[in-house]
Structure formats: C-alpha cells, structure tokens
Chain A
Amino acid sequence: MTPTEPATPKIELSSVCKAFGSKAVLNGVDLTIGRGESVVVIGGSGTGKSVMLKCILGLLRPDSGSIRVDGVETANLSERGLEPIRAKFGMLFQDGALFDSLSVWENVAFGLIQGRGLPRAEARDAAIANLAAVGLDGDVANLYPAELSGGMQKRVALARAIATRPEILFFDEPTTGLDPIMADVINELIIDCVRDLGATALSITHDMASARKIADRIAMIYQGQIVWAGPTAAIDHADNPVVDQFIHGRAQGPIKMQIRRL
C-alpha cells in the first residue's frame, strides 16, 4: 500500500452535491482516493455515506460537482457510457443483496456469466475458487442464500464482489449486524481480498474497530461534507470536535441526531 498520491487519483470527488427534494444530503463532498489505497468514510446514520457511494457508482446522479474515476468524468455519462466504468467496481452491499432466486454459486458467478459471458461450467469453478478465498467450502455452493446465516451471507456477498477481480471495491457497512468475532473475520477477509487484488477500496461504516483495522486513511462525513480526513493513526489526535465525539461514541457534543433517513 502506498498512501503517496499518484498522478491521477483512482477516484476523485469535488464539490459533489445531491439533494432529495428540499433536503440537501451531500453538500459539496471533496474526497480523493489514490490507487491501491484503502479509505474508510465514517459518519453517523443518515449523513449521506450511502448516497455518496451510489453517486460514485452512477446509481444516483449528483446534482452538481464532479466525480472522476481514473480521470474520467462520470457525473454526466449516459447509462451506456457508465457500463465500462461500472465494470471496474465490485460492491459489498450492507445486507448482502444476494439474489435469493439463485443458488450461492450462481450468485458468486453472476458477474462472470452475465457480465463477462463466461460458460456456466467455467464460471462455477471460478465461483468455488472465490468461495474458498472467503473461507467457504464447496458444500455451500448449491445452497440458497436464505439457508445461510448472516455472517455466511456476508461472506458469499464478498465472494461475489471479488469474483470479477475488480480494480475498485466498495464496502457498505461490512460489519453491521454481525457479532464481534464474525465482524473481525470479515475485516480480515476484506484486508486479504483488497491486498490480493491490489484493489483500491472505499468503505463506509460507523464501526470504529472495523475502520481502524481496514483503513489506510479515514475521512469523516458530517452534514454532507467531509469534515476531516487523514491517516488512520492520526484520528486520535484529529483535534476536531465532531470526529472526537464520533470516535469516542459520546452522546454529548456537536453532532445532533438525524431524524429522517436519507
């Protein structure tokens, strides 16, 4: 991992704004993620973390501002223009978002079969290899997602996210809803997968233990803006009241409860 900034950052957001109706969710987000870097964005529920990820993926369109992936401006690309950009991404969704009508191996192989046009037999072998990479043996391949525990679903979802060997991996609250041991297992897997792929990683979480473990750099989002960003080790000396309140989990401080979800 080289936290030094290369010439073109992998992902670059500058003054990205997004509002739903009259409610401004992103209020000029600036964030730069270097090649091969693992950045974790922390922030409370409803501060626009997921919206930011979805804007980068092109699932939502920002109202203004610029999003560059490998130097290519994506904010105003057409659906078809977004396709080659999206092929660079792998995403682990918060609740896994596994396709419940498909078996575990079909889920993992989905991007290979539908996206890359691989024959099913070949894709199945690749899927089983990817399941092995997240510590699952071939027995689960024919099960359906509903038959798996939450932690296992998360592993399958991780296997699916890495199956196409993406250059960029997104993790949406990877440890939410897991017990501390399983959360640590997932953290370790994320670190391993990112290292093996040499991928750039962007995670959003409010789990500080997870953030400290997987991040090269941490950024804090608050009221739709990045209020602090720096190396992981520096967060304890951030000298920012918002960051301070968040990492120590205090009820008192500048952060007020968000009432409405975004």
Chain B
Amino acid sequence: MGFLAAIGRAFLIFLEATGRLAQFSATALSHLVRPPIYGRLIVRQMVDIGYYSLPVVGLTALFTGMVLALQSFSGFARFQAEGAVATVVVLSLVRELGPVLAGLMVAGRIGASMAAEIGTMRVTEQIDALTTLSTNPFKYLVVPRLIAGLTMLPLLVIVADIIGVFGGFLVAVYRLSFNPAAYLSQTALYLTANDVMAGLVKAAVFGFLIALMGCYHGYQSRGGAQGVGAATTNAVVSASILILVCDYLITGIFFS
C-alpha cells in the first residue's frame, strides 16, 4: 500500500504544479492584453534578451554551421552526394538547429537570470512591496519579459541562421574546396518560405516558454538563497525540456 500511496502522492503533486502553472500562465496572458503596458521595461528586457545574447548565440550558430558542413560532407562522400552539403546545412539550421540551439542557450542565459532576479525579489518581499505601491507585479515583472522573449528570439534566430550558413560556407569553400557561387546558389535552391516560417514560429514559442518558466519559477520561489537556487535550476531545466518537446510537436504540425 505504501507503494501506491507514493505514486498517488507524486501524481497529486504533479497535478498541483500543473494547475499552478496553468493559473500563472492565464493570469500572465490576461495582463498581456490589458493596459497599462510598461514600454521602458519592455525595451530593457528586449535589449537584455536580444542584444546581449548575440555573442553566445552567434558563436553557437557559427560552429554548428561549420560542424554540419564537415559532418555532412564526410557522410555524403560515402555515396557521392557531396553536392547536397549546402542544402543539408541550410535546412538543418533554419528548420531545426537554429531555433533549438538558440533557445537552449537563451534558456541558460536568460531563463536563469529571470528566475534568480524575480526569486530574489520574492524572498526579499520586493514583490509584495510592488503590490502595496499600486503596481501589479504581473504587469511590471512578467509581461515585459514575456513580450521580450516572444519577439526577440525570432530575431536572434534569423541572425543565428545567417551566421550558421556563413560558417558552413567558410568550411565548404576554404576547407572542402567548394565553388563559392555554386555553394550559395545550392543553399538558396531548396529553401522554402515554409522552412523559414517553421523556424521562426519555433523561436517565438521557445522565447515565450523561456520567459514563462523563468518568471514562474522565480515567482513561486520560497525560503531564501536555497529557494532562489532551486528556482533557477528548475527554470532552466523545465524550459530546456519544454523546448525539446515543443520542437517535436511544431515540427509535426509543419512537416507532416
């Protein structure tokens, strides 16, 4: 019986957490569409997420593009299909690796800092102070981060795609002796608007999830430094897992 009780308890905890998250998301979304909107805060979050994530996302994309070119070349060389290298690089980046890797990097960078900042504000009563100063913490803290995540990640992914393709191009031309013009025209040949669209939709969803997880776990944190640490870990882990799950679901919707 103890075994069944343990399963039941775990299941109840799971349901409770799901309910809390659903309630949090619903409240956040309802504030997303109601004034006042804090423009200054949104811009500050956009700069934080968009601009300051450029180096890490750019480097990730560059090396991913380079590795893709090397790997697909050595693989395809086994059945004389080296010509497909450019197509493989661009499609994998735009449809899959650009959004997923940018999402994971931003989850580590931004999700963690959101959870730590909001969590610290929670345990030092700054969130209660906001409320007593006639400011809704959802509007002031959560909404700007959600908007910034939703809008900035697609822009980051566009940059990442371009840098990634450029990385592939560098390796193909300077290491694998491809013809530059042929490589570029091959890159553009099989890329469709639908591919780009799917990548950007993924990016927007991931950006929203990263901000949501960061805010949610920070907002729920309890009990001092340890609570904030746990919130930070949970924000990054849950955002990363959700990114991978949603990646599969969105791919299913777009390419089935």
Contact = CB atoms under 8 A, between A and B. Distances in A.
Contacts of A93: 125, 128-129
Interface in A64-110: 79, 83, 86-87, 89-91, 93-95, 97-101, 110
A160 B126 CA distance: 13
Contact of A87 (B121, B125, B126, B134): B134
Contacts of B129: 91, 93, 97-99
B131 A114 contact: no
Interface residues of A, number: 26
B125 A95 contact: yes
A181 B135 CA distance: 34
A97 B140 contact: no
Nearest to B139: A114
A97 B131 contact: no
B125 A94 contact: yes
Contacts of B130: 99
B250 to A, nearest CB: 34
A57 interface: yes
A164 B125 contact: no
A57 B131 contact: yes
Contacts of A116: 134
A110 B135 contact: yes
B132 A91 contact: yes
Interface in B104-136: 117, 121, 124-126, 128-136
A111 B125 contact: no
A86 B135 CA distance: 10
A39 B40 CA distance: 40
A245 B136 CA distance: 42
B122 to A, nearest CB: 11
A115 interface: yes
Given A93-B125, A95-B124, A97-B126, A110 B133 contact: yes
A143 interface: no
B128 A54 contact: yes
Contacts of B126: 97-100
Nearest to A166: B132
A148 interface: no
A59 B135 contact: no
Contact of A115 (B117, B121, B124, B135): B135
A57 B132 CA distance: 7
Interface in A99-141: 99-101, 110-111, 114-116
Nearest to A93: B125
Contact of A59 (B124, B128, B133, B134): B128
A91 B133 CA distance: 9
Contacts of B131: 57-59, 86
A160 B129 CA distance: 10
B124 A97 contact: yes
Interface in B156-211: none
Contact of B140 (A86, A90, A114): A114
B87 to A, nearest CB: 47
Nearest to B134: A115
Contacts of B132: 57, 59, 86, 89-91
A89 B125 CA distance: 16
Given A93-B129, A97-B129, A99-B129, A114 B124 contact: no
Given A87-B134, A100-B126, A114-B140, 6 more contacts: A57-B132, A91-B132, A97-B125, A97-B126, A99-B130, A110-B133
A-B pairs, 7 with minimum CB distance: A115-B134, A97-B125, A97-B129, A111-B133, A114-B135, A91-B132, A93-B125
